[in-house]
Structures are given as C-alpha cells and as structure tokens.
C-alpha cells in the first residue's frame, strides 16, 4: 500500500546558514529551551508543511490554548515556525529552511571537515 504522507522538504543547508548570526541562533535555541515549545516544535516538524491547527496542537500537547498561544508566539519571533490562516483556523508549521539553517550553523565545522 502506497504511503499518503508527503515527503519532507529538503534539509540541506543553504546560503541561509551563513546568514545566521549568533544572536539569531541564541534566540532560536532559547525558544526551544522550554518543554512545551520543544514538544510543539517536534509535532510541527512531524506534521510537515501541512502544519497543525492551534486547537489541535493544544489538544495533542494537553495544554491550555492561551498558554499555547504564548509559546507559538515565542517560536514565531525566533523564526522557527510560520502561521497561516485557513478559514477561521490558524495553522502553524515548522519553517524548514530556518531549521536547516540552525542545524547547519551548529554543524558547520563538524569534525573539522574530516567527516563524522
């Protein structure tokens, strides 16, 4: 049986890796350094580009919607997630380019280029 899942967008670091400065990296890591935000980000990464509605995300995480709104705002300010409106719902998804840039920044000089 063929999978109904959409493949993930490519995660290869792009020129965005060089565009990240220490302040942007610190903001992104700080946004993820909280239990609910990290769990929400992981769910959004799992959901792929289609994203998840705010209500569904709150239900899946078992946290009040008002608390979730605060956490989502923190991640949006850090540039880790994006928001779009579909009818009356707010849909959130991971910004895969930003995620790739962050991982690329962290691993840019991994093993001094000798391969891991």
At 16-41, the pLDDT tens digits run 445 688 999 999 999 999 999 999 99
The pairs formed by 25-34 with CB atoms below 8 angstroms and a separation of 24 or more are 25/102, 25/105, 25/106, 27/77, 27/78, 27/79, 28/78, 28/79, 28/80, 28/98, 28/102, 29/102, 30/78, 31/74, 31/75, 31/77, 31/78, 31/80, 32/75, 32/78, 32/80, 34/71, 34/74
Q: Which residue has the higher pLDDT, 16 or 113?
A: 113
Q: Is the pTM of this model over 0.75?
A: yes
* pLDDT number for residue 115: 67
């Amino acid at each position: 049986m063929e999978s109904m899942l959409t493949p993930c967008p490519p995660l290869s670091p792009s020129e965005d890796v060089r565009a990240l400065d220490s302040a942007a990296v610190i903001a992104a890591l700080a946004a993820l350094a909280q239990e609910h935000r990290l769990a929400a980000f992981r769910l959004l990464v799992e959901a792929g580009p289609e994203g998840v509605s705010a209500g569904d995300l709150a239900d899946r995480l078992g946290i009040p919607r008002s608390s979730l709104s605060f956490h989502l705002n923190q991640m949006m300010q850090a540039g880790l997630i994006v928001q779009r409106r579909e009818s009356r719902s707010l849909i959130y998804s991971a910004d895969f380019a930003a995620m790739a840039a962050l991982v690329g920044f962290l691993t840019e000089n991994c093993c001094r280029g000798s391969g891991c």
